[in-house]
Structure 1
């Protein structure tokens, strides 16, 4: 087409929305969403999108060349103003335990996935906009993000990747040209801050909480469809296992144990290890009040809202990983007749973590 660039040649797929049950209600209103894995939702228009930063490495992984990044429409696309061929934007429906308490439905309150691109290695990668506006899961929030927090996520996800820690990636950081009100110090003095959207990239953004919500509601049909999708897309080698649910859980146990070892290796504290922030692929996901140790202090947490109990402090992360895995096992249990393999996998977490710790410290 006249004036077209390589941006126009990107072809998005919609594996998640094609395979899983959708919210039948089209209205973008805060509500409980039943019997669905996601809600289709359009990103909120940004007033003046402008590219602030991008990862050339992630762009190359996705087959996005320099001409596409230089295209003025690149910022429009990754602010959510312009959809490309094949994009089917949605917010995922999930629940979770927050600080040890069941919170019910949570969902993508300010994240909207655009769809999947096949990377240069032939692996599907989901592109997700964080801060692109409200969804049915936003509860009392506005679904937006400010530059301050978006920059932290952009930098940290790329830094963690280069430190060798399993993580989501970041394609780009786009300023919206709009102002967003936030109380930065939580002291009752909100102020306007520049808005931004970060485009996150991962093979999957499925969390422990996706399984938990369906199980908690007794929606076994949705739980089964989600399980089948995750196995087919991300663990196809497990499809023929005698007990595929137990096999999947054992693999997630291994991935989670390895992930926590990597966090401790680099002195990273996630800060909010709720079950809705635990990746089914063992990736670091949702960079919020994270931090790194300066002086060694196993009781340190960067999360001021966790200051009283320090549930998610540095030294407790291995224990929290174990606790969260137990919640995932409970969610998957309706898919099996025999719970013994789940118990064996949970019991094996400690030895897998210890083995990983010894290998790491000996390296």
Structure 2
């Protein structure tokens, strides 16, 4: 996917980089700032408090671009962002330590690769490094915290921008509201360039035979909303196809490019149960259950 030489992953410099102990020369790492609605209520700024991006690399595979294919356009290799999760505090950590534990990191590594193998759009796992540190966590949210082995997982995605990335500057208003358009321009230019290339329609697809849908009168921002809605709807259908329940469908956990992101208290159905939720904090209302 990234065209990396497997032998390079065993080099000391590479291991130190993937463990978050070294920033490669010429790389300027950064952390995103986003907010979100949690369980139906606005929660303000939420992150990113424990993940930093090392930058972007051009992939070796052509990515799906339905609009370009329908119009006869050529597909081009995607650009992927590499992010380290669990490396410590960022400017947006608030009261948290910015660390990740081995238990949750292993779950994210295994699940993301399994979902990719099942054909579900998802972030991918590049590496998992045990840090040797001990991290205090209340894994079951039952008031019984314990020390857990720490870890850093390197994950890869076409984008780690979330719906909540737009909500935060919009909620703050004033000069920050101008960031919404700047952010939209960046997302459209990088992930939906056909919207700036004169496309006058965007569709919400419900199968291969559905005709083009809603007119956007050439407005790329309306087109962005429709494209994100289409991809998110398609992603939800893919989840139900394999019996996957995300468990935390807050807007800070919803990708702007329609990929599964942030594997927290997820689960898979062992038998059909529309009320199933793997999230113990969601069990009273079951807002994010299977169906």
Q: 1:171 aligns with which of 110, 120, 126?
A: 126
Helix, strand or coil: the match of 1:276? helix
Tell me the CA shift for residue 86 of structure 1. Answer: 3.4
* Unpaired runs of at least 5, structure 2: 62-76, 200-217
Residues 1:134 and 2:105 aligned together: no
What residue in structure 2 maps to residue 91 of structure 1? 31
Residues 1:71 and 2:20 aligned together: no
The 10-residue stretch of structure 1 (183-192 or 82-91) with the greater mean CA deviation from structure 2: 183-192
How far apart, CA to CA, are the structure 2 residues paired with 1:185 and 1:287? 15
Q: 1:247 aligns with which of 220, 223, 246?
A: 223
Tell me the CA shift for residue 169 of structure 1. Answer: 0.5
What residue in structure 2 maps to residue 204 of structure 1? 159
Residues 1:236 and 2:193 aligned together: yes
Closer, same or farther: CA 190–220 of 1 in aligned 2, 3 Å: closer
How far apart, CA to CA, are the structure 1 residues paired with 2:26 and 2:170? 31
Helix, strand or coil: the match of 2:130? strand
Closer, same or farther: CA 247–187 of 1 in aligned 2, 3 Å: closer
CA contact (8 A) 1:91 1:112 kept: yes
CA contact (8 A) 1:181 1:192 kept: yes
Tell me the CA shift for residue 188 of structure 1. Answer: 2.9
Aligned 1:166-315 pairs, distance under 5 A: 166-218=121-173, 219-239=176-196, 240-241=198-199, 242-315=218-291
What is the TM-score normalised by the length of structure 2?
A: 0.85
The 10-residue stretch of structure 1 (209-218 or 289-298) with the greater mean CA deviation from structure 2: 209-218
Helix, strand or coil: the match of 1:154? helix
Residues 1:106 and 2:46 aligned together: yes
- Pairwise CA RMSD: 1.1
How far apart, CA to CA, are the structure 2 residues paired with 1:164 and 1:291? 17
Tell me the CA shift for residue 183 of structure 1. Answer: 2.0
How far apart, CA to CA, are the structure 1 residues paired with 2:229 and 2:194? 16
CA contact (8 A) 1:86 1:115 kept: no
How far apart, CA to CA, are the structure 2 residues paired with 1:144 and 1:286? 15
Residues 1:147 and 2:97 aligned together: no
Tell me the CA shift for residue 124 of structure 1. Answer: 1.3
Tell me the CA shift for residue 266 of structure 1. Answer: 0.4
The 10-residue stretch of structure 1 (195-204 or 113-122) with the greater mean CA deviation from structure 2: 113-122
The 10-residue stretch of structure 1 (146-155 or 80-89) with the greater mean CA deviation from structure 2: 80-89
Aligned 1:335-346 pairs, distance under 5 A: none
Number of aligned residues: 255
Tell me the CA shift for residue 184 of structure 1. Answer: 2.4
How far apart, CA to CA, are the structure 2 residues paired with 1:226 and 1:196? 31
Q: Deviations over 1:283-315 (max 9, x none)?
A: 000000000011110001000011110110010
How far apart, CA to CA, are the structure 2 residues paired with 1:123 and 1:290? 27
Relative to its length, the structure with more helix (as a share) is 1
How far apart, CA to CA, are the structure 1 residues paired with 2:125 and 2:93? 22
Residues 1:159 and 2:114 aligned together: yes
CA contact (8 A) 1:214 1:220 kept: yes
Helix, strand or coil: the match of 1:314? coil
Helix, strand or coil: the match of 1:245? helix
